Amino acid sequence: KAGVTQTPRYLIKTRGQQVTLSCSPISGHRSVSWYQQTPGQGLQFLFEYFSETQRNKGNFPGRFSGRQFSNSRSEMNVSTLELGDSALYLCASSFVAEPGYGYTFGSGTRLTVV
Amino acid sequence: KQEVTQIPAALSVPEGENLVLNCSFTDSAIYNLQWFRQDPGKGLTSLLLIQSSQREQTSGRLNASLDKSSGRSTLYIAASQPGDSATYLCAVSSQGGSEKLVFGKGTKLTVNP
């Protein structure tokens, strides 16, 4: 059974550019959440999608956005990149968006902004 | 707002030792608590999921307990091995707030041969 797949694994971008990250959840999982991990702030929730609808959003600026497709694959986009956006971006999938179900995480995308 | 704290931030033990990692949370209104392991530069591997109605879960050499009323969870690792070296994170799914999972900062465990 394939796990959560995130692409690309590594990215280097220049300040001011935009970037798109992709996440394919476990087959049958319909909830996809995104997290940002930095050494200073730890893991912080970005947003969650279920059935192509954003269900929850964390405390991040509007430069961070996402979407989910009908096959449950999700993308997140960061526009006008800043140096502080350098982080490990992790995607997690769950069977449903209801509490009580555990989350399975992907290996992450390491974004470096120079 | 839910806050999760993990103590200690780092722990170094000799191989074979039994050890306990601690996690505390401020709001006891949780759905569940999940322990994860993270190797350097990698994603998170789920270790144990404890529902709010449960007191503990076991998997191999790992045992996690949950005391919801006091806002505490412990992860017990028996007979530690060098391969257990990693950062261990606990996360809670809260009944209030919009965040799906609130994480602690983790405990970095080093098991010395």
**C-alpha to C-alpha distances, B108 to A6, A25, B39, B56, nearest whole angstrom:** 25, 28, 10, 22
Length of chain A: 114
Q: What is the pLDDT of residue A73?
A: 97
Q: What is the pLDDT of residue A95?
A: 84
Residues A85, A39: contact at Cβ < 8 Å?
A: no
Residues B99, B107: contact at Cβ < 8 Å?
A: no
Which residue of chain B comes nearest to A48, CA vs CA? B100
Q: Tell me how crowded residue B95 is: count the other CB atoms within 10 A of its CB.
A: 13
Which residues in chain B are contacts of A58 at CB distance < 8 A?
A: 98-99
Distance CA A87, CA A70 (A): 28
Residue B110 tokens read as 């080093």
The pLDDT tens digits of the residues spanning B37-51 come to: 999 988 999 999 999
Q: What is the pLDDT of residue A102?
A: 82
The pLDDT tens digits of the residues spanning A88-106 come to: 999 999 887 666 678 899 9
DSSP state of A101: -
Residue recorded with tokens 């509490």:
A99
Q: Tell me how crowded residue A59 is: count the other CB atoms within 10 A of its CB.
A: 9
Which residues in chain A are contacts of B104 at CB distance < 8 A?
A: 42
Radius of gyration, alpha carbons of chain A: 13
Which residues in chain B are contacts of A110 at CB distance < 8 A?
A: 41
Residue whose C-alpha is closest to residue B37's, from B113, B101, B109 = B109
Which residue of chain B comes nearest to A60, CA vs CA? B99
Residues 6-45 of B with CB under 8 A from A: 31-32, 34, 36, 41-45
Residues B88, B36: contact at Cβ < 8 Å?
A: yes
Exposure string (b/e) for B32-55, b if CB count within 10 Å is 16 or more?
bbbbbbbeeebbbebbbbbbbeee
Q: What is the pLDDT of residue B41?
A: 85
Q: What is the pLDDT of residue B62?
A: 98
Residues B22, B72: contact at Cβ < 8 Å?
A: yes
Query: Would you call B101 and A57 a contact, using CB atoms and an 8 Å cutoff?
Result: no
Query: Would you call B49 and A102 a contact, using CB atoms and an 8 Å cutoff?
Result: yes
The pLDDT tens digits of the residues spanning B14-40 come to: 999 999 999 999 999 998 999 999 999
The pLDDT tens digits of the residues spanning B80-105 come to: 999 999 999 999 988 766 567 899 99
Which residues in chain A are contacts of B89 at CB distance < 8 A?
A: 43
Spans in chain A with pLDDT lower than 70: 1, 97-100
Residues A33, B101: contact at Cβ < 8 Å?
A: yes
